[in-house]
Chain A
Amino acid sequence: MEIDLGQDAAREARAMSWLDDQERRRWRRFLPGGPRRRFALSRAALRAILCERLGCDNERLAFGAAEHGKPFALVDGEPVPVSFNVSHSGAHGLIAYAPAGRLGVDVEERVARSDIDLLSEAVFGPAERAELALTSGYARSHLFFRLWTIKEALMKAHGAGFRLDPSSFETPPAMLRGMNEAIFRLPRLPEVSWRLQDLGNERFAAAIAHEVDGA
């Protein structure tokens, strides 16, 4: 689900009314303006979605954090075994929800960056860097953001985030060649399959990774 995180004071005030005390404390740690707005709007939207899917009132819903900080839902203080993930960038927010299977989502606003080489060296493997080297200008930036979101979505779904060395695995060849989705297994975790899907468009790059059974 896509969320509009553009400026709207009334919507932001309504969103704040959905947050609990812990979330309001976290909100205060963000910088005023965009960071606070993105957190409030995306967290309130997540609460609305989870309340609807789980059939509970907002007051009964809270969040805990797993080992590396990935949040999970609590209803009446008890963990609920559903999956969700949130990402936001600029005015774009994405929320993914599934009744089962680990989920990760990433969205990145397509903005001009002068450090694509630096970042590529840090997170991409040889095949990804070779594919990038075949492009230039807008196409290069487009591909960079596409590959980044695919990898970050997978790292978020896994739960380890950047502890999972992003240069230790590469985007599936089919997706490198332009396919929108693929089934993937991490070299260090071959028993688990992930469905990767590119959700991007001209305004933003986005991807989702979902753990699947028996693929």
Chain B
Amino acid sequence: MASTADRIRKLVADNLEVDGKPLPEPLDFGTGLTELGVSSMDVVAFAKVVAEDFGVTFTPEACATIKTLDELVTCLDSQMG
């Protein structure tokens, strides 16, 4: 079974781009998406996609608190036990 990080990596590749280009590999899980140049609108849409894929719910506060993909993985792992 794919790890949470691997699933996130695939969701990023399938759903996020900046100026029409995919985010570069290897993906830096320690840098915030907005710091890379992803728009706030795309971050919100991505949060919805991740929530649906993992079957979890993010509160707006949680979305705003999670700054990096590393933090997202930790949050998902804690929600899924």
Query: Which A residues form the contact surface with B (CB < 8 A)?
Result: 26, 29-31, 33-36, 38, 68, 89, 108, 113, 115, 118-119, 121-123, 148, 152, 160-167
Complex alpha-carbon distance, A163 and B65, angstroms: 8
Complex alpha-carbon distance, A33 and B24, angstroms: 12
A119 & B37 in contact (Cβ 8 Å cutoff): no
Complex alpha-carbon distance, A89 and B19, angstroms: 10
In the complex, how many angstroms separate the beta carbon of A183 from the nearest chain B beta carbon? 24
Nearest B residue to A166 by beta-carbon distance? B60
Mark contacts of B15-35 with chain A using CB atoms, 8 A cut-off: 1 yes-contact digit, 0 otherwise: 000110101100000010001
A29 & B35 in contact (Cβ 8 Å cutoff): yes
Complex alpha-carbon distance, A160 and B65, angstroms: 10
In the complex, how many angstroms separate the beta carbon of A169 from the nearest chain B beta carbon? 11
| B1 close to chain A: CB less than 8 A | no
Query: How many residue pairs between the two chains, A and B, have CB atoms under 8 Å in the bound complex?
Result: 61
A122 & B37 in contact (Cβ 8 Å cutoff): no
State which of B5-13, B38-46, B72-80 sits at the interface with chain A.
B38-46
B37 & A35 in contact (Cβ 8 Å cutoff): yes
A119 & B19 in contact (Cβ 8 Å cutoff): no
Give the interface SS of chain B, mostly helix, strand, loop or mixed.
helix
Complex alpha-carbon distance, A3 and B60, angstroms: 30
B48 & A122 in contact (Cβ 8 Å cutoff): yes
In the complex, how many angstroms separate the beta carbon of A1 from the nearest chain B beta carbon? 21
A162 in contact with B40 given A34-B18, A115-B45, A119-B45 (CB within 8 Å): yes
Complex alpha-carbon distance, A161 and B39, angstroms: 13
Interface centre among A34, A123, A162 (most CB of B within 10 A): A162
Closest 10 A/B residue pairs (Cβ) = A35-B37, A162-B64, A165-B60, A34-B19, A163-B64, A31-B37, A115-B45, A29-B35, A163-B61, A118-B48
Complex alpha-carbon distance, A108 and B40, angstroms: 10
B44 & A31 in contact (Cβ 8 Å cutoff): no
A162 in contact with B39 given A34-B19, A35-B18 (CB within 8 Å): no
Please pick, from B37, B41, B60, B63, the residue contacting A30 in the complex, using a CB distance under 8 A.
B37
| B2 close to chain A: CB less than 8 A | no
In the complex, how many angstroms separate the beta carbon of A108 from the nearest chain B beta carbon? 7
CB-CB under 8 A from A26, the residues of chain B are 35
In the complex, how many angstroms separate the beta carbon of A203 from the nearest chain B beta carbon? 16
